[in-house]
Amino acid sequence: MSTVWSDVEKVLLRVSSPIQYVGGEVNMVRKDLDRAQLKVCIAFPDTYKIGMSNAGVQILYGVVNAHPEWAAERAFAPWLDMEAKMRERGIPLFTVESHTPVREFDLIGFSLQHEMCYTNVLNMIDLAGLPLHSAERKLSDPLIIAGGPCAFAGEPLADFVDLFVAGDGEELLPAICTALVRLRGECASRERLLLELVKQVPSCYAPSLYEYTYQADGTIASFRPRCADAPERIAKGSVASLETAYYPTKPILSYGETVMDRINLELMRGCPHICRFCESIAIKNKVRYRTVDTLVGYAEQAYRATGLDEIGLTSLSTGDYPDLPELMVRLTARFKAKKVGLSVPSLHVDEKIAHIPGMIATVRKSGLTFAPEAGSQWLRNVIRKHIHDEHLLNGVRIAYEHGWRQVKLYLMQGLPRETDRELEDGLRLVEKVSALGRAVMGQAGHVNVTLSPFVPKPMTPFQWDGMMTMERHHEIVRFMKARIRSPFLRYKFHNPDRAFVESVFSRGDRRVGRALLAAFKNGARFDEWDEHFRLDTWMKSFEQAGIDPEWYAYRGRGENEALPWDHMDFWRERHTLWRDREQAYALPRPEEEAAAAAAAAAAVAGGAAVAGAGAAAC
């Protein structure tokens, strides 16, 4: 195996944050690649400081390296200044551990956490010196696979990725590695290798083995396998027991800056709630827990291996972990003297929070986040977010009582059936959250509100809905800014231009890959970063590719329209999702319920009056 370290070393003092390219971190695994039976590159299409905060990177890295004959190394998207130096000097994309070119690995695995990382995926493939299109790669080239949330609806990347992995990577990646070791000497072509892999690992989808046809109006006409042996449906893979699943007890400890410099304890996987907007339910639907004993043991091992002073309790819905009070009490008892704090992500607020004020008191005061998603109770019912105003306000009151001076709220805008009335309700709710501070602390509480444009996601009841237009977004922003008076309230509006592009790729079919390629060639990089996203670049790219982005983003879909992810076998069938959507749209508004109740009462009263008059006549 070769190394490019001497070339990399020459440019380190000329780029920002050079430590991210050096390697040698605590708990890093370094194996002899020349002796390894299989070499895997764990590739994260964002910067080192983002990727090293991703729990999945640590898990997959550890799973592969746990095998005595396999070796895993990491690669991240180089920042723009480093990319420029690499292209100027002909330095290919390399791994952090040994600075080996990633094209010399057997398998390159990308983690797709969000749609706006897609240009970085193409950039990393190109920097590696590999053909961008999978059809142009040779059998000897590394296999490029992709997993993570976006792998379930990854058609925009279909021309560039060899294999999508649908499900939990702890079991699927080792299964792919095992099959690859066995098959690579038996298959005479790359297509045959992919076919055998999808047959042996049912949760894998090789897009090159399938083809689409389209109707005259642009909608999908058919999707079918090109090979007789390719499965028509792709089964999702799930770890049966989280209790016995791999956990990285010796996570890599970075020398450089990372976004979340902490020990991550995954309490549970899946979510007991079925919010209508949430794609994660379909991806991680089966709720699985780790026991308190196991979690405390993992925390102790990870602390001994890293010395980190924060433990993050993570899951889709941490507040629903059944033994959360016991876990936090035991972790506090073990780590308080070591000055190790606990942190929790956004909380699902319900009546249970009233019973755990002591638990809340143990969390660090950097900011407590609640995610009601919608400002009115009725709209939360529409999206099936079971949070009541009184529970949210009670949770905030408890937070103020235990030392918080500010809280964070996550809200969405542009939700199905939303009107200005719901926006008014949201403003009033935020004001109530702030005003609670006067009763508890003697001054209003500081409330940071993040407002995100709603992007309809695949595999949800709202997958048929179009997103709100840009004009509507600007109306909402003007509406809300005109009504914000308190200096204690701080609103952050997410970029609607980026949400627009995200929507195109979230529900896009294989054809939008042409626009992705054009955007990459036009210089799009790090589109998740505000300072680098450029809508004009994307609009130019859509035009060059002959793609109408509004057709993908704003258009509602019909009940029977074929969707680009219909071949994925996830939790709920599409007829169930459609029925769920109909229920959301049939939910009466409060004023409609009140009018119906008044009409019913009037009818009853009128009937009673008629009956009374008849009795008097008798």
Residue with tokens 């070791």: 181
In the prediction, which pLDDT does 596 show? 74
**One domain for residues 283 and 393:** yes
Indicate the pLDDT class of residue 260, thresholds 50, 70 and 90: confident
583 occurs within a structural domain:
no
Q: Give the residue, 481 or 613, on which the prediction is more confident.
A: 481
Of 11-20, 84-93, 224-233, least confident by mean pLDDT is: 224-233
Residue that is last in its domain, among 452, 473, 506: 506
> pLDDT by residue (tens digit) across 128-146?
999 999 999 999 999 999 9
What average pLDDT does this structure show over 29-42? 97
**One domain for residues 109 and 223:** yes
**One domain for residues 110 and 214:** yes
600 occurs within a structural domain:
no
Q: Give the residue, 271 or 212, on which the prediction is more confident.
A: 212
H/E/C letters for each residue in 475-520? HHHHHHHCCCCCCCEEEEECCHHHHHHHHHHHCCCHHHHHHHHHHH
**One domain for residues 42 and 186:** yes
What average pLDDT does this structure show over 349-367? 57
In the prediction, which pLDDT does 354 show? 53
**One domain for residues 179 and 271:** no
CATH number of residue 389's parent domain: 3.20.20.70
> pLDDT by residue (tens digit) across 438-488?
999 999 999 999 999 999 999 999 999 999 999 999 999 999 999 998 999
**One domain for residues 204 and 269:** no
Residue that is last in its domain, among 506, 541, 560: 506
**What average pLDDT is seen over the chain?**
92
**One domain for residues 231 and 270:** no
Note the pTM of the prediction, 2 decimals.
0.93
542 occurs within a structural domain:
no
Closest CA to 170 of 248, 72, 245: 245
pLDDT at 555 over 90: yes
281 occurs within a structural domain:
yes
Query: Is residue 603 helix, strand or coil?
Result: helix
Of 32-46, 314-328, 447-461, 506-520, least confident by mean pLDDT is: 314-328
pLDDT at 223 over 60: yes
- Which stretch of DSSP H or E encloses residue 470? helix 470-481
State how far the Cα of 253 lies from the Cα of 115, in Å rounded to an integer: 28
Closest CA to 460 of 405, 416, 410: 416
- Classify strands 446-453 and 489-493 as parallel, antiparallel or unpaired: parallel
**One domain for residues 227 and 269:** no
Any idea what DSSP says for residue 19? G
State how far the Cα of 512 lies from the Cα of 507, in Å rounded to an integer: 10
433 occurs within a structural domain:
yes
569 occurs within a structural domain:
no
- Which stretch of DSSP H or E encloses residue 145? strand 143-147
571 occurs within a structural domain:
no
State how far the Cα of 226 lies from the Cα of 230, in Å rounded to an integer: 8
In the prediction, which pLDDT does 341 show? 87
**One domain for residues 304 and 430:** yes
Residue that is last in its domain, among 199, 216, 235: 235
pLDDT at 345 over 80: no
Indicate the pLDDT class of residue 361, thresholds 50, 70 and 90: low
Indicate the pLDDT class of residue 406, thresholds 50, 70 and 90: confident
pLDDT at 609 over 70: no
Count how many domains the chain has: 2
What average pLDDT does this structure show over 574-594? 92
Domain region containing 181 = 5-166+169-235
**One domain for residues 215 and 293:** no
**One domain for residues 35 and 131:** yes
615 occurs within a structural domain:
no
In the prediction, which pLDDT does 259 show? 86
Indicate the pLDDT class of residue 281, thresholds 50, 70 and 90: confident
**One domain for residues 356 and 434:** yes
